């Protein structure tokens, strides 16, 4: 079963790569030249590994399905945000109602926890946008709203913390290597995706470790 899940993940990853670049090409005429076989293969392998990790962690149930959807959304968003700094609404509106429906069916932390996570996460990003006058984008707020519906309040907070730490480390390294210029923005969506997946996989353990520290 593990090999089947991994293979299916690879196939979906290739599809996600193609879908993402269709969106990218609509926004930037020369982006098609950046697509490579290596990137396509990397996308497939990463999606396959993510699908496999979800299966090994949760088995086959509704949480497994939610994990596959989170991995899928994160892969697509990573492509579009890295290449053209866009988190497409057309992608988010596909995933949002699915997450809402699944969480109404399966809500181990109480159904209210998931909309609370969505509005809290999006509200925090909106506050950052207001205070920094553009330090983050509206796409980040909408993305975290969707993620929040999938993982709930506590896990959304963990996702934000992890994403913020990782983005800060990467930004500092890029500045030191002179790859990134001062005041140049880096895409935050991929970090939100990583933070969300970390929270989804290990959030319960991290919360338990924090309260027992």
| pLDDT tens figures, 75-98 | 999 999 988 889 999 999 999 999
- Whose structure tokens read 């895409």? 187
Query: What is the spatial distance between Cα 68 and Cα 193, in angstroms, rounded to a whole number?
Result: 13
Is the CB of residue 77 less than 8 Å from the CB of residue 193?
Answer: yes
Is the CB of residue 203 less than 8 Å from the CB of residue 158?
Answer: yes
30: alpha, beta or left, given left = phi > 0 and alpha = psi -120 to 50?
alpha
Q: What is the pLDDT of residues 34-59, one digit of tens each?
A: 556 778 888 999 999 999 999 999 99
Q: Which two tokens stand for residue 73?
A: 């959304």
Q: Into how many domains does the chain fold?
A: 1
> In this structure, what DSSP letter does residue 74 have?
H
Q: Which domain holds residue 136?
A: 2-211
Q: Name the average pLDDT for the chain.
A: 89
pLDDT of residue 31: 45
CB atoms within 10 A of CB 131: 9
Helix axes 189-211, 37-58, angle to 10 degrees: 20
pLDDT of residue 58: 93
Look at the chain and count its residues: 213
CB atoms within 10 A of CB 202: 15
């Amino acid at each position: 079963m593990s090999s089947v899940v991994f293979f299916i993940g690879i196939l979906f990853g290739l599809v996600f790569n193609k879908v993402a670049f269709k969106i990218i090409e609509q926004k930037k005429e020369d982006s098609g030249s950046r697509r490579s076989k290596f990137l396509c293969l990397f996308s497939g392998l990463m999606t396959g590994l993510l699908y496999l990790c979800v299966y090994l962690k949760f088995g086959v149930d509704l949480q497994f399905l939610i994990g596959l959807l989170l991995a899928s959304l994160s892969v697509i968003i990573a492509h579009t945000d890295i290449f053209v700094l866009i988190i497409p609404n057309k992608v988010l509106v596909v995933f949002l109602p699915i997450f809402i429906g699944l969480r109404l069916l399966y809500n181990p932390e109480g159904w209210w926890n998931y909309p609370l996570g969505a509005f809290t996460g999006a509200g925090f990003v909106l506050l950052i946008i207001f205070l920094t006058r553009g330090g983050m984008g509206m796409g980040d707020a909408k993305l975290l709203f969707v993620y929040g519906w999938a993982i709930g309040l506590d896990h959304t907070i963990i996702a934000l913390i992890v994403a913020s730490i990782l983005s800060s480390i990467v930004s500092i390294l890029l500045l030191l290597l002179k790859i990134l210029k001062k005041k140049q923005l880096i895409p935050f969506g991929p970090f939100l995706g990583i933070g969300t997946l970390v929270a989804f996989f290990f959030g319960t353990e991290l919360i338990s470790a924090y309260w027992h520290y």
